[in-house]
Chain A
Amino acid sequence: MSFLRIKAMARKEWIQIRRDHLSLAMAFALPAMLLVIYAYAITFDVDNILTVIYDQDKSSTSRDLIARFAESKYFSIVASIDSYGEIDRYLDSGRAKVAITIPSDFSKDLRTGRPAAIEIAIDGSESNTATIAQGYIAGIAEAFNRRESGVSVSPVIDLRNRVWYNPELKSRNFLIPGLIAIIMSVIISLLISLAVSREWDRGTMEQLISTPVKPVEIVIGKLVPYFVVGFADTVMSVLIATLLLRVPLRGGVLFLLLVSAIFLFGGLCFGLLISIGARNQLTASQIAMLTSFLPSFLLSGFVFTISNMPAVLQGVTYLVPARYFVSVLIGVFLKAIGFNVLFTEVIFLSLYGSAVFLLAVKKLQKRIE
C-alpha cells in the first residue's frame, strides 16, 4: 500500500465531487431540510384534538365541563351542535375527531346523586391520537368528578410518575437524533454509490487499472473525500439539532463524533460495495436507495419501536447498522450515556465497518481481474 497513490486517488475523487454541484447541494441541503421539516411538522404530541359538543343540558354544570375541555390545550372545540346526525357528519368527514354529548338531565342527575352519563365518541381511525385522547379525557373526567363529589378522597394507590430523559415528553427530542442516523445512511450510500459505477459507465476504470494503483488503494482513495463530506454533514446536522432545534445534547460530543465516524465508515464501505457490484450508475443508485432507506427508516427503531415487531423482523434489525447508531445517538443526546453502556453498539458498528471494507476490496479485486 502506498500513501502517495492513495493521496493522488483521493485528490482526483475530491475534484470530481467538487465539480458535481448537484450532488454536493443534495448532500447539505437535504439533511437541513429534512431536519427542519421533521422538527416542525412531524410530531407525535397530540394536542388541538378537534372536538364538537352536543350540549342538551345547557346548564352551568355542563358549561363548566365544556370549559374544562376548552381550556385544556389538548382539545379545541370547533363547533356546538344540536343533533346526533351532525355528530355523524362531523366524524365521517373528519372535521372533528371527538364528539361529546351531554344528555339533557345531566345536571339534574348530578344534583340528585344519580350517575350522570356523558357520551363521548372518538374517531379511532387515527389509533395513536385516539389512544392518547382517551388518556386526556380520563384525566379531565377524574378532575371533574373530584370537584363534583366534593370530598377529596385520596386514592388507594398513589401513583408517582417520574419521566426520565425527556420529562416534557416532546417527540421532537426523540425523532431528531434518530433522524440524523437515517439521513446519514441514505445520503452517504447514495453519494458514494456513484463513485465506482461512474468509472465503469465512462470506461475510465480501464485507465485506472492500467496505472499501478492497487484495489485497496482505490477503495481507500475513494473513501477519504466522501468521508470528509459525510463527516461535515454529521457535524452540520448535530449543530442544527442542538442550536436551531434546541434538542438537548447531554452526553459526550467527542464520543458522539467518534461513533459517527465509525458508522460513516461502514455506510461508505457498503455504498462502495454496491457501486463496485453494479453495472451502471442507475442500478447503483437504485440499489443504494432500496437497501439504505427502507431498512434504516423502518427497522432501526427510529419511529417504530423494535420490541413491537414480529420476532422474525426483530431478528433482522440486528443486521441493520442504523439500529445501533440510533441507539447511540439517542443515548448520547438524551440519556447522557457513553461507552460503558453502549459498548456492544460500538463494537458491532466497528466489526460491520471492517467486514464491509474487506468485502469491497475483495469484490473490486475480482471485478478488475
Chain B
Amino acid sequence: MFERIWYLAVKEFIETFRLRRRVFFIFVAPVIQLFMFGYVATMDVNNVSTAWLDYDKSTESRELARRLEASGYFTIVARPASSKEIAPLVDGGKVLLAIEVNRDFSKDIKKGRPAQLQVIVDGTDSNTALIAMNYVSQIAARYSTDLGAPIKATAVPADFRLRVWYNPDLRSRNYFLPGVIALIVMLTCLMLTSMAVVRERETGTMEQLMVTPIRPLELMLGKTMTPALVGFVDMLMVTIAGVLWFHVPIKGALPFLFLATGVYLLSVLGIGLFLSTLSKTQQQAMMASFFFFQPAILLSGFATPVESMPRIFQYITYVSPLRYFLVIVRGIFLKGVGFDVLWPQVLSLFILGMLIFLFSALRFKKRLE
C-alpha cells in the first residue's frame, strides 16, 4: 500500500513541477502576495493629509501646527486662506482633515477663555477618521496642559495607565502578516489539490489510474502529498520573509507552527478534494476554489475581529478552519504561547479537519465508483 502511494506521489510531484507556469503559481505568486500584503495591508493611520486654516496667525496657533506635524500623524498639505476653500479640498479628497483656528484663538488662551478649534473630518473612511480624531484630541489635550492653564491647578484624580501587550508599537503589519500564512497556504493548496484530481479526469488518465490496483484512499493520499509539501514550503517562505524582511516578531516555537500547519492542511486538503468532486474541468475547479476562498477569508477574522460580527455570522465562523488557525498563528507569532494555551484551537481544528477529510473521502470514493 505504501509503495503504491509513494509511486503515485512521485508521479504527482513530477507532474506538478513540470510546467513552468505552475511553478510560478506555487512559488512566485505567494511571494508577490506576501509583499503586497506586507506593504499595503496597514490600518495604521499616519501622514493624514491636513488643511490648516489659520485666522489667528499667532505663536500659539503656529505651535499647535508644529505639534500636529511633529507627531508624524498629520502632514499639512494645504493652507487655505478662508473657510470657503475647505469644501473643495475635502470634496476632492485632497485632504482628509481640515482644522480651522479662530481669529481670537491666542487671545482666548491668554484670557483663560476656552479657545475654539474647528475640526472637519472626512468620515467616509470611518476607521481612519475615528483614529485621526483621537490623535487630534490627544495633541490638543497635551497642548492644553502644557499651556499651564486652569486644569493644572486641579490634579487629575485618577491616572489611567495604559499598557499595550504583545504588539506595543501597534503595528498592524504584525497583525496581518501571520494571517497571510493562513491565506496563502489555503489558496495555493486548494487550487493544487482540486486541479490535480480534475486534471486526470480531464485528460482521461483517470481510467488508466483506475485499472491499476490502486485504491481510492491511496489515490487520495498520493494526490494530496505534493500540495501538503507545497503548503509547508509556502508557510516557511512567508515566515522567513515576514521575520527577516518585515521584522515581524516570532515569539513562539517554530516546531509548534509546523504541527499546527499540518493540522490546518488536513482541512484545506479535504476541502480541495471535495471541490474536485464538484468540478468537471480544471478551470471549474479553479473557480470553485476561488469562490470558496472568498467568503472563507471574510468570515474568519482575517481582517476584522470575529467579535464585531453579528451573532449569526459568528456561528458560521465556527466551521471555518481559518478561524482556528488564525488564532494559532497569531498566538505563536505575537503572544509566544504554545500548546498549553492554544490546545482548544488545535483540537477543534483537528476534529474539523478529520470530519472534512472523511466526508470528502466518502464523496471521492463514490465518484470513482
A298:B165 contact, CB within 8 angstroms: no
User: B157 interface residue, CB < 8 Å from A?
Assistant: yes
- Rounded to whole Å, the gap between the CB of A238 and the closest CB of chain B is 17
Interface centre among A117, A130, A305, A334 (most CB of B within 10 A): A305
Within 8 A of B (CB), among A108-150: 110, 113, 115-132, 134-135, 137-138, 141, 144-145, 148-149
User: B59 interface residue, CB < 8 Å from A?
Assistant: no
Within 8 A of B (CB), among A92-117: 92-94, 106, 110, 113, 115-117
Closest to B195 in A: A282
Q: Which of A120, A169, A282 contacts B123 (CB 8 A)?
A: A169
Please indicate the chain B residues that have their CB under 8 angstroms from the CB of A50 in the complex. 307
User: A154 interface residue, CB < 8 Å from B?
Assistant: yes
A159:B117 contact, CB within 8 angstroms: yes
Given contacts A92-B341, A156-B147, A163-B121, contact A169 B126 (CB under 8 A): yes
Looking at B215-223, B257-265, B292-300, the stretch in contact with chain A turns out to be B292-300
Q: Which of A30, A141, A155 contacts B291 (CB 8 A)?
A: A30
A41:B313 contact, CB within 8 angstroms: yes
Given contacts A118-B158, A160-B117, A160-B119, contact A174 B125 (CB under 8 A): yes
Looking at A1-9, A206-214, A283-291, the stretch in contact with chain B turns out to be A283-291
Cα of A325 to Cα of B190 in the assembled complex, Å: 31
Looking at B203-211, B230-238, B267-275, B330-338, the stretch in contact with chain A turns out to be B330-338
User: B310 interface residue, CB < 8 Å from A?
Assistant: yes
Q: Which of A92, A167, A289, A337 contacts B91 (CB 8 A)?
A: A337
Given contacts A117-B161, A156-B151, contact A341 B156 (CB under 8 A): no
B158:A145 contact, CB within 8 angstroms: yes
Closest to A317 in B: B40
User: B149 interface residue, CB < 8 Å from A?
Assistant: yes
User: A165 interface residue, CB < 8 Å from B?
Assistant: yes
Please indicate the chain A residues that have their CB under 8 angstroms from the CB of B39 in the complex. 309-310, 313
Please indicate the chain A residues that have their CB under 8 angstroms from the CB of B93 in the complex. 327, 331
Cα of A362 to Cα of B159 in the assembled complex, Å: 70
B283:A285 contact, CB within 8 angstroms: yes
B166:A156 contact, CB within 8 angstroms: no
- Rounded to whole Å, the gap between the CB of A233 and the closest CB of chain B is 15
User: A71 interface residue, CB < 8 Å from B?
Assistant: no
B40:A129 contact, CB within 8 angstroms: no
Within 8 A of A (CB), among B298-324: 298-299, 303-305, 307-310, 312-313
Q: How many residues of A contact B (CB 8 A)?
A: 102
- Rounded to whole Å, the gap between the CB of B18 and the closest CB of chain A is 15
A341:B136 contact, CB within 8 angstroms: no
B114:A127 contact, CB within 8 angstroms: no
Please indicate the chain A residues that have their CB under 8 angstroms from the CB of B294 in the complex. 30, 34
Cα of A204 to Cα of B189 in the assembled complex, Å: 34
Given contacts A135-B134, A173-B124, contact A127 B170 (CB under 8 A): yes
Within 8 A of A (CB), among B161-177: 161-172, 174-175
A26:B91 contact, CB within 8 angstroms: no
Please indicate the chain B residues that have their CB under 8 angstroms from the CB of A165 in the complex. 122-124
Cα of A182 to Cα of B137 in the assembled complex, Å: 35
User: B46 interface residue, CB < 8 Å from A?
Assistant: yes
Given contacts A165-B122, A298-B41, A309-B40, contact A110 B129 (CB under 8 A): no
B115:A156 contact, CB within 8 angstroms: yes
Please indicate the chain A residues that have their CB under 8 angstroms from the CB of B134 in the complex. 131-132, 134-135, 138
Cα of A85 to Cα of B285 in the assembled complex, Å: 49
B127:A171 contact, CB within 8 angstroms: yes
Q: Which of B121, B143, B291, B313 contacts A40 (CB 8 A)?
A: B313
- Rounded to whole Å, the gap between the CB of A3 and the closest CB of chain B is 33
A304:B40 contact, CB within 8 angstroms: yes
Please indicate the chain B residues that have their CB under 8 angstroms from the CB of A113 in the complex. 155
User: A216 interface residue, CB < 8 Å from B?
Assistant: no
Closest to A154 in B: B114
A308:B46 contact, CB within 8 angstroms: yes
Closest to B100 in A: A160
User: A46 interface residue, CB < 8 Å from B?
Assistant: yes
Please indicate the chain A residues that have their CB under 8 angstroms from the CB of B164 in the complex. 121-122, 124, 130
User: B116 interface residue, CB < 8 Å from A?
Assistant: yes
Cα of A190 to Cα of B283 in the assembled complex, Å: 11
- Rounded to whole Å, the gap between the CB of B304 and the closest CB of chain A is 5
User: B2 interface residue, CB < 8 Å from A?
Assistant: no
B167:A125 contact, CB within 8 angstroms: yes
Q: Which of B131, B156, B163 contacts A131 (CB 8 A)?
A: B131
Can you name 24 A-B residue pairings with CB atoms under 8 Å?
A26-B287, A34-B295, A40-B310, A41-B313, A44-B126, A115-B156, A118-B158, A125-B175, A127-B170, A127-B174, A128-B127, A130-B167, A130-B170, A131-B45, A135-B131, A138-B134, A154-B114, A154-B150, A156-B143, A158-B114, A160-B118, A164-B90, A165-B123, A330-B124
**Those 3 A-B pairs whose CB atoms lie nearest each other, nearest first:** A166-B123, A124-B167, A135-B134
Apart from A37-B299, A93-B342, what 19 extra A-B contacts exist at CB < 8 Å? A93-B337, A110-B157, A124-B170, A130-B170, A132-B131, A135-B130, A138-B137, A155-B151, A160-B119, A161-B137, A163-B123, A163-B133, A164-B121, A165-B123, A166-B123, A281-B281, A310-B39, A313-B40, A331-B91
